[in-house]
Structure 1
Amino acid sequence: MENRDLEEEEECIKAECLKELSELSELKVKDLRQKSRVRWASCGDENSKFFHGFINNRKRKNSIPGLIINGECCDKPKMIKKETFGFYRKKFKEEMVSRPHLNCHNFKRLSDVDANFLIEKFSREEIKVAVFGCNGDRAPGPDGFNFRFIRHFWELFEEDFFGIMSSFHDTGILNKEAFSSTLSKAMEVGIFKGLQTPNEGPMVSHFLYADDALLIGEWSDSNLANVARILSEVEQSRLVGGLGCRKGELPFIHLGIMVGANMNNIHNWDRIVDSFKKRLALWKAHSLSIGGRVILLKAVLESLPVYYFSIFIPCKVVETLEKIMKRFLWGGANNVNKMHWVAWERVTLPKHMGGLGISRLRDVNNSLLAKLG
């Protein structure tokens, strides 16, 4: 066997071969990843050997076969559960009998430079660093594009991102200073009484974070009345422009809930009914197995109306929603009914009683109402 140093031409050939081998290896990994996704899309929802093998493999990876307890390996499930429960119980156990008081002497504050940095506009370089710092191989967003695509065509997206962040800064952060200044002035003249921190610390009246505002003060009728005065119609004309918002009217939607509307009127529930129908139209029930439809009913359909179910729902609305759920379970479309082979009362029983474990919406409503006493 010849043993010598490679010549310059041979070094170039070696580098080219290693580069080509690396590219082929990367293409093979991409091909295998794509094949796995295609197979899961075509066979993952079926009650097949592939599906059960995939689930059992994940179950084996997530299982805890044993623990080292007092220096010895233990594989008994009861002992593992007991040790795990005791470990986390110690972690979350309150150890302090009395908590220390907040000492506000020499209260640290941000310097003017740091404070101005927090409220200054986003620079193009700052936005680019944030975008390029995101994992590009994650699931795509609603538009179908992931961050790898955005980074590759950054020249096309840069102006859009800069415009979005500039608009957010102008309407969501900087103009809150007007609201903050108004409350601070009200506290100085005694109109609004904030909360005095211990040990002669500063007086706290409000906190502003992102698009939220938290008012802090004495719990008294006069304080509440003065807050209402500050936010009254007289002040709105001056504050609306400074806060970057517009004056609304009742009813309006807040966190998915209709505020100020008569919820006894069935038409005011059209929003949640339309949400049900929209999801069902996208899912295409006829392309899913019965197992896939049951999972979607449990995981998504039952969670959609939770906000609304915290208040009493008319029986007619519950019947309409459950009618949509029944049609979806048995493979029907929006305007097509199919044979319901099992009564809904049997389907909604727990699994150990022969049902599918799907909750009845009226029971969910009553459970959430019980929390209110």
Structure 2
Amino acid sequence: MQEVDITMKGYRRKDHPEDNDSLLQPFSVDEVRDVIWSCDGNKCPGPDGYNFNFLKNCWTIVKKDVIEFLNEFHRTAILPKAITASFLTLVPKKDHPQRVMRKLCQTAFLPNRQILDGVVVINEIIDLAKRRKNKCMLLKVDFERAYDTVNWMYLEDMMLKMGFAEGWLKWMKACIFNSSMSVLVNGSPTEDFQVGKALRQGDPLSPFLFLIAAEGLTGLMQKAVELGKFKSFKVNDNLNFRILQFADDTVIIGEGDWNNLWTIKTVMRSFELVSGLKINFFKSKLYGINLDDRYLEAASAFLSCSIDQISFCFLGLPVGANPRRLSTWRPIIDTMRKRLLGWSGRHLSIGGRVTLINSVLSSLPLYYFSFFKVPSSVLKVLVSIQRNFLWGGGLEGKICWVKWDTICLPKDRGGLGIKNLDLFNLSLLSKWKWRCLTEPNVLWSELLKFRYGSFSDNFLCRSVVSAKSSDSLWWRDILKVGEVEGNLWFSASVSSILGDGKSIGFWKEKWIGNASLKELFSNLFEKEIDKNAVVADKGRWETVGWSWVLFQEGVLLDNAATEAADLLSLLADYHPFDRNDNWKWIPEAYGQFSVSSTYQFLQQRTTADEICPNVVGALKRLWKNDLPSKVSIFG
């Protein structure tokens, strides 16, 4: 275990006793039921032949036995062999496979973290390095059969070092380390055998356990930086990047020099020996920014990997790409056309085509729409594919009997409820603005804040914010989200909820009513020295309570002093609280941002005056029937 200790020297243990107490709590009936109901009931059953649909349908019958079994496991940490047994099914990914590929890993499993967080960091680092003319090297690491090679001894030691309780470790050993497997050959299982390593595909625990295993690589890279063996990519004195990981999707980032290459090879080999996770250098890719071609060729030969060009695909998106070029969107366009070729659209009713457009064609570009602003030229192509399928059942152009904007209206407003891709794209991108405001201290947010300044100044001001020449294309597109023909609908839809006042701008943000103090008291704002002051800076706690301190005595003339008195009168009922500041999304009743509420809000903005309420009510009644969609659509 000495090698494991070396690996973990760079890892800083975080003890959270309250988390361990929560993990070791007895299983409640409601908790067990919620877990069962959250699982897909139609997933393939295990060797016992029972899937989750059986448990759901027969819950009243089997509930007592299931709870007793789980309580016994809670006490003893022992599972019968039949519970941990599984089948290995060989599923070909191609019609005529030459070998079996077993890389089916997901990439984002942590609460409050999203898969696109890593994408925005890589994209901004590439743009920043190009604009600064920094020499930057990126190595996209490929793990060979990631889940299948995890060393259990290493995984156990990682969990110990991370502070997991002994009881939890016993449960993990019972669930993972004492498993057996049979191979299905022509539908029949072979004799079972004990498994000595690896994590099971499809096991809900596997993604989380793999993340724990991958933390060792982060620890090694951190130790290498601390020892001065690896030079990370430095954004500023407080922000630098050396490795980005989302499960087995890993990118190592650093300066382009030979010391870094030696360190990478040493770290990768050490991690491979300790964890069992083998690095496939043949499939790994090396990318250089402002690096000499001869250096890249030598580095490629040294690491036994290939050189590739930026942009490249990371977590399913082309990072470093120009989103305004058609080539960036070509995979989405080709996928939509390919999907249509497999459908017999001409034999479907128009109701069936609407269903397929909503469930498939409108969903295919969702991932790209969540990060990139779709250009108008690409939008026309995507809409034409949908329109041609709706009216003709294929890719060929047909007569369009109704304007497409009308087709995209909600059903209760005279449309067919097909998503308006332009508004859908805006709704998804506006989530970035909301996340910037509500998650200001996470890594990707710190990077954006350093490059572009205050999020409040960029997103919540009443005037259009112009992008700078040094801004990335992605950020320029994000800035434009929320601006329609001079109307700043995003800033008008956000208000602040006062907490401790440490993050809410006193003058510039809307925390009293629906207007900022800058707008209500423009003369006072002009006389303010610190125009970016937060609420907490404009007062202090005294024995009698909170006291507002707006200006020093003698600074204001008579007229301004009168206005200041009016402001103090307005502030009399407000004071900071012992909680964090928060934000409210006005279009949503509960104040929490959601893409669906934003999409509905944008639709209402464009259609509010087009249909009278009586017609809306009639259309709602019309669509509430038990008729097939192919009949209802002609109502």
Same fold, TM-score > 0.5, yes or no: no
Structure of higher RCO (CA pairs closer than 8 Å, 6+ residues apart): 2
Name whichever structure is richer in strand by fraction.
2
Greater C-alpha Rg: 1
TM-score scaled to structure 2, two decimals? Answer: 0.28
Name whichever structure is richer in helix by fraction.
1
